[in-house]
Amino acid sequence: MSSNKKYWKSVEELNENSSIVETLRNNEFSEPIPTDEFLSDKDSLSSSSTTRRDFLKYVGFSTAAATLAACEGPVHKSIPYVLQPEQIIPGVADYFATSMFDGFDFANLLVKSREGRPIKIENNTIAGAKFTANARVHASVLSLYDNTRLKVTKIGQKDASWAAADMKIKASLADAKAKGGQVVLLTNTLASPSTEKLIADFIAQNPTAKHVVYDSVSESAALDAFEAVYGERALADFDFSKANTIVSVGADFLGDWQGGGYDSGYAHGRIPQKGKMSKHYQFEANMTLSGAAADKRVPMKVADQKLALVKIYNIVTGAAVSVGKIANEEVVTKAAQQLKAAGAKGLLVSGIQDKNAQLLVLGINQALASEALSTVGTRQIRKGSDAKVAQLLADINAGNVHTLIMSGVNPVYTLANGKAFAEGLKKVKLSVAFSLKEDETASVTNIAVPAPHYLESWNDLMLTKGTYSLVQPTIRPLFSSKQFQEGLLSWTGNSASYYDYIKANSAAYLNGLTWNKAVHDGVVAGVASAASAGSADYAAAANALSQSKSLANFELVLYTKTGMGDGQQANNPWLQEFPDPITRVSWDNYLTVAKADAEKLGLTNEIVANGGLDGSYATVKVGATSITAPVIVQPGQAVGTIGLALGYGKTAALKEEMQVGVNAYSLYNNFDNVQSATVTKADGTHEFACVQSQKTLMGRGDIIKETTLTVFTAKFDEPEVWNPTPMVSLDHKEVPATSVDLWESFDRSVGHHFNLSIDLNACTGCGACVIACHAENNVPVVGKSEVRRSRDMHWLRIDRYYSSEETFEGDNKKKDEFDGLFGDKGSLGGFGQMENPSDNPQVVFQPVMCQHCNHAPCETVCPVAATSHGRQGQNQMAYNRCVGTRYCANNCPYKVRRFNWFLYSNNEEFDFHMNDDLGRMVVNPDVNVRSRGVMEKCSMCIQKTQLTILTAKREGREVAVDEFQTACSSACTTGAMVFGDVNNKESKVAKLAEDNRMYHLLESVGTKPNVFYHVKVRNT
């Protein structure tokens, strides 16, 4: 029998004459909660009249009201499909195989798409897919949704139609043909068989036309040398996994040297197996990722690097080219002798932009018969010619170019004499630019055509000879864009679509596969023949190089940063906020100066009270051009050299927040990355956004564990020698910290239990994992000002440690010899000294995220149980419960929790991608966008692990071995990060957990993390 009792909400309801009774009958609240006052942006928040008492009064009616007030988030109205596309299932991701190449970066990819929106870049792991995504490629999905993209065709800076532009271009081409005027197609390296065939068709119809290839960051010297020896304008490919001895002279092969992509092969040889690992010597001016990973790194001026190359050539080949004495000659000699002894297992590479130097590289590797250098499947990703670009500039300024059509280049920005190029355009009858942005060049051409993003395009690529890749669109074009290839089809009178053209042209490359299968796989692995082996006058090259003299002034060494590359994605906030792996500075480029030079010039860096880093300004003058930039005093910088990153200082078609840094291309004279420069101190102090000093774990003995290969091999079965377990006192006896516990443990052997393994030997600091985490987990960008206040929101950081002595072993010896608190050996002063790096330090990169402790200190102090532990080993966050006390952050020994200070979405104070509808298209719907006032951190990608379980369940099978992935582990291509179920004893992570090199961070604290690391081994 049902009850018909009536329950009163309040005594007030008993009064029939009450003014609020009617309201209460129909509405839970008699007054609206003023959420708009206390949940808006920070200005409104600070001026809100709502007191704490009023707030509690308003929300006191019910728990639901409190929940609403605490968890109000951005609300978006959605419009359902009128006719849902068959291929789209709401809530289920689609993956499209594609490839990308923008003239600088390249990769074979899988693109994750949700409800028709590409939201995440993954690596294509199919056989034949050779190139993986770096940090910039992972971030490129956000550049698709850039609101500053060129949206419509412009003629004379006014909106127009493609048809009108096409008509003008055809008329100009006809006029050039009639008058014999020169037509130039200026493009980046295309690496596209179909596009190159189209260009050949175009030139055949326009006899006065020519194609000039321009790479903003030149590899022309290496191309010229390879062409001279092998008769093909391409780059050799290298397999670093086949090299036991690696000598690099100025080549950052773990960075962008000759396109990069060598880190996976390199890391394969750096993980000690059966007592063996590769030996790596690095001679360089700037501190680079490759130098940081080297067993022996020698800071060296570029002039000395050239002489060192000649010395190595003499020792390896037995030549007797006269060469003067250089600093660190004994190390050069030792490296050369080991290289010669390695024979076919040796490899020499060099980044010196000099044809003679590159000829010696080929000659030395030929003498070694190096297995690591391959002329089968040469790299087609750089084809530019410095000489041809210089000739084009001369022709333009002489008025000899009738029609100039550009695609994928921005010479007004990237040429050292960009202003002269812009002036020369006025003498060209018709200038056209196909460009993603109305950039520095597109804004001064007669016609600017919006180019589609690679995720909106069809194309084909041959990144290495014999390997054919297809580019397919994953979304309809967002704007009225037009591909350069579509223009070529129109100008050659071909009515086919570019899709049909590629499909017809692909038959020669499909190697027996069907077109649909090739599109599905994304890559077709073919068979390439080796480039014809030749020779050159290596002795003459060595003699010419031996005459190299040191510059009278500083050597300015220009380079590309891991985050920004050549600057094409300067408007990408993920990349701007990405801390540089070496300096840990974001939102800037800067002059890197050796400590000795900084002291002479009066240049300083200072850590201020809020943890921010300040630095002096310096003026650099190269020829008649000078720029003023902030200074970073860089350990490991060669004395007499300074470094400066390209890719910054852009202003056209960029949001104001992204207009940072200085344009180093203005100093890139004659495409030489080494310039003679004078340096003087300038007025003012620069505020850096540097994260290194904010969350460091320096001085804690079990953070970085390191040993030598000799000790590791000799004492392999005695890991306590080189991987000691921390000891604690129990009942006045020393016992292993792992044997003592404050809590009773529950049975973790049932079901899945997730662990993440991180190998310090394989981690190169590339940062792909950081950007992948950003994309997968909707991590907000907070801007330079907030990063400086130590409020960056990265869920994953890559800590960088320098040794304060020459080696970390020296650091440990110094620390072990501390005696008392004060004096020369006192620990108080000693630990402070250890914060100061050596002039040539050893370097370690260590990715750190939430350690997902089984006995997590954050969980015990949360007053509202917002953070708790899941049975699968993940430390979880219930954002709806979190009230932002930050007790958990204070109690976390790893400093991996981030407090969400502001609402970063729909907030004009943070004008990044989450502030407009287009930018928010990249948001992952499986992960909520957090509102202000809560803690957030790495979730070990719980949405991905649960999806893997549910997918297996739906398919009626068990989860496959090593099927589990996180964003960081799937992005890591070196094998440094391995994720999986440790309860599955067949999984990689379970086997790695039993490895002798395994250790946990701060094991003595007793947190029992589910993330573990592997001791770094150096082949000294």
Where does 851-998 have alpha helices with state H? 857-861, 887-891, 942-954, 967-971, 988-993
Q: What is the Cα–Cα distance from 130 to 107, expressed in whole angstroms?
A: 8
Q: Tens digits of per-residue pLDDT, 428-441? A: 999 999 999 999 99
| Token representation of residue 465 | 């000879």
Q: What is the pLDDT of residues 946-1001, one digit of tens each?
A: 999 999 999 999 999 999 999 999 999 999 999 999 999 999 999 999 999 999 99
Min mean pLDDT across 68-77, 140-149, 771-780 is at: 68-77
> DSSP strand E in 189-342: where?
209-213, 235-238, 245-249, 279-284, 296-299
Mean pLDDT of 483-490: 95
Q: Please state, rounded to an integer, the average pLDDT across all residues of the chain.
A: 87
8 Å CB contact between 459 and 195: yes
121-165: per-residue pLDDT in tens? 999 999 888 899 999 999 999 999 999 999 999 999 899 999 999
Beta bridge partners of 284: 299
As to burial, measured by CB atoms within 10 angstroms (0-12 exposed, 13-18 middle, 19+ buried), residue 733 is: exposed
pLDDT at residue number 7: 41
Using left for φ > 0, alpha for ψ between -120 and 50, and beta otherwise, residue 325 falls in: beta
Side chain identity, residue 309: L
Residue with tokens 């100008």: 491
Joined together, the tokens standing for residue 298 give 């020698």
CA distance 910 to 607: 26
d(CA 473, CA 81): 21
Name 237's bridge partners: 374
DSSP classification of residue 906: S
pLDDT band at 29 (very low <50, low <70, confident <90, very high): very low
Task: Evaluate if residue 57 carries a pLDDT over 50.
Answer: no
DSSP character string of 317-368: H---------TTHHHHHHHHHHHHHHGGGEEEEE----HHHHHHHHHHHHHH
- Taking residue 274's Cβ as centre, other Cβ atoms within 10 Å add up to 7
Residue from 213, 201, 154, 203 nearest 176 by CA: 203
For residue 112, CA distances in Å to 145, 251, 549, 917, 922 come to 15, 34, 53, 19, 11
The per-residue pLDDT for range 843-858, each reduced to its tens digit, is 899 999 999 999 999 9
In tens, the pLDDT along 919-944 reads: 889 999 999 888 888 999 999 999 99
Decide: 447 and 165 in contact? Cβ < 8 Å.
yes
* Residues near 658 by beta carbon (within 8 Å), at least 6 away in sequence: 570, 571, 572, 573, 576, 650
With 50 as the cut, is the pLDDT of residue 77 above it?
A: no
∠ CA 264-265-267, nearest 5°, is 65
How far does CA 664 lie from the centroid of its chain?
A: 20
**Secondary structure element (H or E) that encloses residue 675, with its range:** strand 674-690
What is the identity of the amino acid at 578?
F
> Does the model's pTM come out above 0.75?
yes
Does the structure show a pLDDT above 80 at 210?
yes
Q: Where do we find the tokens 């190449």?
A: 101
